[in-house]
Amino acid sequence: MSNRIDVKKTYKLFINGAFPRSESGRTYEIKNANGVFIANLCLASRKDLKDAVVAARAAQSRWNKASAYNKGQVIYRIAEMLESRRAQFVDEITVFTGTTKIKAQKEVTDCVDRLVWYAGWTDKLSSLTGALNPVAGPYYNFTLPESMGVIAAIAPETPSLLGLIDAIAPIIVGGNTVVVLASTKAPLSAMSFAEVLATSDVPVGVINILTGKKDEIAPWMASHMDIDGFDISGLDAQSHGAIRIAGAENLKRIFRFKSADPGRILAFLENKTVWHPIGL
Amino acid sequence: MSFYGLVDGTEASLKKYLGALSGVDQVGADARAAMLATRSIKTSSKRWAIDTAISMVDLTTLEGADTPGKVQALCTKAVRPDPMNSDVPSVGAVCVYNDMVRIARIHLDSIGGEHVGVAAVSTAFPSGRASMAVKIQDTQDALDAGASEIDMVIDRGAFLRGDYIGVFNEIVQIRKLCGTGVHLKVIFETGELVTYDNVRKASFLAMAAGADFIKTSTGKVTPAATPPVVLVMLEAVRDFYTMTNTRIGVKPAGGIKNTKDALKQLVLVNETAGPEWLTPTLFRIGASSLLNDLLMQRMKMDDGYYASPAYVTID
């Protein structure tokens, strides 16, 4: 054996297309299923959340204006990048969560397929959920789904990677941008997924990933005035009440979901109705 | 004019005066500015700093697309930056092009904003490329329209080719035009002066020629008001004070977009020129989007949670 020094990966946050450490300098330890230390992860602070929201807000208008076809291409590209690094993710999930290799392979496959499935939704949304409304007058009257803005999400603890993708993808399909808190106990594949995002065509700021404690971050997400919607699927049931009350103060739309579902996309869209005179 | 007894108005005396200036240690200035930028301002100090910064803002709109309506809306915001909260101080001045000066002055006076100044950018802003006759007429127009502050640009081309006396005489002439009642700010466009030595030289030149304020940039060129440049200018006003017992103001403009940037500037002022300069009569910040961020930070301190741009005006 050589005397080569181990080259270990430093796991950091993913904000505005960059990988900063937490501005607070705080970290927490991640251990594998057998209790063996694996890595120090950033413990995101309120300011990290603020920075992520500023980035997401700045990116929202451009992402929203991208054509549905282009959004689909970008999300499909994430799937391509993930597929090309399949072996790495299978290894990471196996080592970090103590699951079997077969289960890990299935999770990565599901992740890729799920991204492709969501990519397909981008250019079908307005046709399937929009409407041409009957009105008594010389007008066309359309109802079309439009993006809500900046959406926060808490990813579920398990499955850590598939849960993260299920949190992110439906939010960005409709033109929203997202700030997501990864699984607290198994965030490593989430932060490796950020590398996939950084090398795909996702514009900076559209997806921002934090690691840290749900009990800390969730109330800040709920009270932040510049977050328009909040997916609390990954949050423990006993804290839902307080989060909903904090979110109601600023009219935030708060939802939770159990599985992949087109309803997840629609939850963070708003219907806009347009009147257009006939004959002009 | 006496020029503080530093020069007698001849080229020889100006050359001697500027030649005696020490050079600027570029690496040292960068390092000191970077070090001061790490200071953390929290709680009651932050609150004081935010209000002080608001009162120092020269709320600026210098667009070809400016309309009377936009200028009037800006004036209303200048007098009462947060319509929901009368505790928020008015800004120092509004800064507009010459043809908007009268509109701004009339509107400010009509809404109880007599205490807010109107600064006019002058002398063929932003390039300064015009004959002296045009520059004088440009300034006179602004004064006739009721400007209380004149932001003039220097001829950077003349400065860079070494025609210091030409630059000096232009400032002197505009100073005469302004008289004693109108504040004269001299804009260097530090992004075009290239070196910190030039910034220091231009600072001493302008101060001797009668500037009330020295200002970094027009906002049309990057880099603009970088912290090291402001540091060099603050050292210049500090040194000038020890030479002449006169306090000259400093106005960074351009690139100061958020509260963090503004607080860094205040730290620079306090640590370089001294706390006497922490007043709108001696320190101004030329900005437009900065004010919204200051207001949002202020709301956050009041409410305990982060504000949204949806709750401040779109300028």
Q: pLDDT truncated to tens, each residue of chain B (315 aa)?
A: 689 999 999 999 999 999 999 999 999 999 999 999 999 999 999 999 999 999 999 999 999 999 999 999 999 999 999 998 999 999 999 999 999 999 999 999 999 999 999 999 999 999 999 999 999 999 999 999 999 999 999 999 999 999 999 999 999 999 999 999 999 999 999 999 999 999 999 999 999 999 999 999 999 999 999 999 999 999 999 999 999 999 999 999 999 999 999 999 999 999 999 999 999 999 999 999 999 999 999 999 998 888 888 889 888
Residue B70 contacts by C-beta under 8 Å, 6 or more apart in sequence?
A: B61
Both tokens assigned to B29: 């200035």
Closest CA to B312 of B300, B301, B296: B296
> What is the pLDDT at residue B151?
96
DSSP chain A: ---PPP-PPPP--BBTTB-PPPTT--EEEEE-TTS-EEEEEE---HHHHHHHHHHHHHHHHHHHHS-HHHHHHHHHHHHHHHHHTHHHHHHHHHHHH---HHHHHHHHHHHHHHHHHHHHHTTTHHHHH-EE---SSSEEEEEEEEE-SEEEEE--SSSHHHHHHHHHHHHHHTT-EEEEEPPSSS-HHHHHHHHHHHTTTPPTTSEEEE-S-HHHHHHHHHH-TT--EEE-TTS-GGGHHHHHHHHHTTT-EEE--SS--HHHHHHTEEEEEEEEETT-
Task: Please compute the mean of the pLDDT values over residues A175-189 and round it to a whole number.
Answer: 94
With contact defined as beta carbons under 8 Å apart, do A253 and A268 qualify? Answer: yes
Q: Does A8 score more than 90 pLDDT?
A: no
Q: What are the angstrom distances between the C-alpha of A273 and each of A130, A134, A229, A268?
A: 9, 12, 20, 16
Q: By percentage, how much of chain A surpasses pLDDT 90?
A: 87
B contacts of A179 (beta carbons < 8 Å): none
For the CA atoms of B225, B231, B234, B236, what is the dihedral angle to 10 degrees? Answer: -110
Domains in chain A: boundaries: 44-277
Catalytic residues of B: 151, 215, 251
- Residue A172 has what pLDDT? 97
State the pLDDT at residue A1: 63
Residue B291: the pLDDT is 97
Q: Find all residues with CB under 8 Å of A174, minimum gap 6, and list them.
A: A122, A125, A145, A146, A147, A148, A265, A266, A268, A269
Average of per-residue pLDDT across A229-235: 95
Residues B233 and B200: their CA atoms lie apart, in Å, by 6
pTM value is: 0.88
The C-alpha atoms of residue A211 and residue A187 are separated, in whole angstroms, by: 7
> Is the separation of the CB atoms in B230 and B250 below 8 Å?
yes
In this structure, the number of other CB atoms found within 10 A of the CB of residue A241 comes to: 9
Instruction: State yes or no: pLDDT of A260 exceeds 80.
Output: no
B126 upstream amide cis, omega within 30 of 0: yes
pLDDT of A280 reads 63
What was the pLDDT predicted at A107? 95
* Contact of A179 with A221, CB cutoff 8 Å: yes
User: Is B305 in Cβ contact with A224 (below 8 Å)?
Assistant: yes
Tell whether B314 is within 8 A of chain A (Cβ): no
Indicate whether this complex's ipTM tops 0.90: no
Report the residue of A46, A226, A249 to disrupt the B interface, i.e. the one with the largest count of B CBs within 10 Å.
Answer: A226
Cα–Cα distance, B67 to B250 (Å, whole number): 29
Q: If you average pLDDT over residues A178-194, what whole number do you get?
A: 94
- Cα of A98 to nearest chain B Cα, Å: 39
- Considering only CB atoms, which chain B residues are within 8 Å of A250? 305, 308
Instruction: Count each helix (H run) and each strand (E run) in chain B, helices first.
Output: 13, 8
Tell me, what's the pLDDT at B1? 67
Q: Which residue has the tokens 């956050």?
A: B300
pLDDT in the model for residue B16: 95
pLDDT over 70 at A276, yes or no: yes
C-beta separation of B216 from B252 below 8 A: yes
Is the Cβ pair B306, A224 closer than 8 Å? Answer: yes
- Chain A residues whose beta carbon lies within 8 Å of the beta carbon of residue B307: 225-226
DSSP B315: -
Say yes or no: A261 contacts chain B, CB-CB below 8 A: no
Identify which has the larger pLDDT, B162 or A280: B162
Looking at every residue in chain A, the average pLDDT score rounds to: 94
Cβ neighbours of residue A98 closer than 8 Å, sequence gap 6 or more = A32, A33, A34
Residue of A nearest to B311 (CA): A225
Residues from chain A that touch B306, judged by Cβ atoms under 8 A, are 50, 53, 220, 223-226
Task: Give me the residue from B304, B306, B309 closest to A50, CB to CB.
Answer: B306
Q: Exposed e or buried b for every residue in A169-208, given b needs 16+ CB within 10 A?
A: bbbbbbbbbbbbbbbbebbbbbbbbbebbeebebebbbbb
Is the CB of A225 inside 8 Å of chain B's CB atoms?
yes
Encoded amino acid at B197, one letter? D
DSSP symbol at B41: -
CA-CA distance, B198 to B23, in Å (whole number)?
Answer: 9
Radius of gyration of chain A from Cα atoms? 20
Inter-chain touch B307–A57, beta carbons under 8 Å: no
Pairwise CB contact (< 8 Å): A57 & B309: yes
- Tokens, residue A263: 């309803």
A230: tokens are 């909040």
Chain A residues inside the 8 Å CB shell of B261: none
The pLDDT tens digits for A86-121 are 999 999 999 888 889 999 999 999 999 999 999 999
- The answer to whether B306 contacts A57, with C-beta atoms less than 8 Å apart, is no
* Buried b or exposed e, range B107-126, using 16+ CB within 10 angstroms: bbeeeebeebbbbbbbbbbb
CA A263 vs CA A54, A141, A174, A206, A228: distances in Å: 27, 24, 12, 21, 17
Window B:293-312, CB contacts with A under 8 Å:
304-311
Domains of chain B, CATH where assigned = 3-302 (3.20.20.70)
The answer to whether the Cβ–Cβ distance between B306 and A53 falls below 8 Å is: yes
Look at residue A122 and tell me whether its pLDDT is greater than 80: yes
Q: Is B64 on the interface with A (CB under 8 A)?
A: no
Answer yes or no: do B310 and A223 touch at CB < 8 A. Answer: no
pLDDT level of residue A262 (50, 70, 90 thresholds): confident
Residue B132: what residue type?
M
Q: Which residues neighbour A1 within 8 Å (Cβ) at sequence distance 6 or greater?
A: none
- Chains A and B form CB pairs within 8 A to the count of 24
Tell how far CA A174 is from the center of its chain.
13
Q: Is B154 on the interface with A (CB under 8 A)?
A: no
The CATH fold assigned to A44-277 is: Aldehyde Dehydrogenase; Chain A, domain 1 (3.40.605)
Give the mean model confidence (pLDDT) for residues A146-151.
96
User: Which residues in chain A touch residue B309, judged by CB atoms under 8 angstroms apart?
Assistant: 57, 226
